[in-house]
Amino acid sequence: MKKTIATFVLAVVVTAMPALVAAAPAQAPAAAQAKAAPGSLKKLTRAELDALLTQPERTLILDVRRPDEVQSIGGFPAFLSIQSGELEKHLAIIPKDRQIVTVSNHASRALRAADLLQKNGFTVAGAVGAQDYEAEGGTLVKIAAPQRAEK
């Protein structure tokens, strides 16, 4: 059942990406284009994230929140979901050929996750708080969990 839900969620969020990318500005922030120095990771603004979202082939959104938080608060159209407590165990599955933006509700967990990733050789553009992004006028995608089939 978990694999079916994950496949459904991935299919739903990927289909929404073109609309968000079309609405975002065309240039990535200079700070995100270069690999950040240790300890220099920052919380990205809505404009900075929107610019990164115009480059989906170069940017990976890594959401470190629990699935219930993503469902109730909303998230971004295409993302990899690994809860913050599980991140270190799953470093091997995270692509190293993309700049990573970590996401949590207000970016505190996301900044810790970004620091862990950077220490392990990943290129990290920064961290984002989903609720802060929405408060700045950004649009989050709300995903409803599929209903279980009655037997």
12-62 tens-digit pLDDT = 343 334 333 344 444 444 434 345 455 579 999 999 999 999 999 999 999
Report residue 97 as tokens.
């050929």
Write down the pLDDT at residue 37: 55
Topology of the domain covering 2-135: Oxidized Rhodanese; domain 1 (3.40.250)
Decide if 60 contacts 17 (C-beta within 8 A).
no
Inter-CA distances, 149 with 1, 3, 4, 146, Å: 10, 15, 12, 9
Average pLDDT value for residue range 131-147:
90
How many Cβ atoms are within 10 Å of 135's Cβ, its own excluded? 11
The model's pTM = 0.73
Q: Comparing 38-42, 82-86, 111-115, which segment has the lowest mean pLDDT?
A: 38-42
> How far is the C-alpha of 51 from the C-alpha of 10, rounded, in Å?
22
**Which residues does 103 contact at the CB level (< 8 Å), separation at least 6?**
61, 62, 63, 64, 65, 75, 76, 79, 110, 127, 128, 129, 130
Q: Regarding predicted confidence, which is higher, 9 or 64?
A: 64
- Mean pLDDT, rounded, of the chain: 80
- Domains of the chain: which residue ranges? 2-135
Whether pLDDT at 107 is above 60: yes
Q: Which two tokens stand for residue 26?
A: 């065309």
User: SS in 3 state form for 18-77?
Assistant: HHHHHHCCCCCCHHHHCCCCCCCCCECCHHHHHHHHCCCCCEEEEECCCHHHHHHHCECC
At residue 2, does pLDDT exceed 70?
no
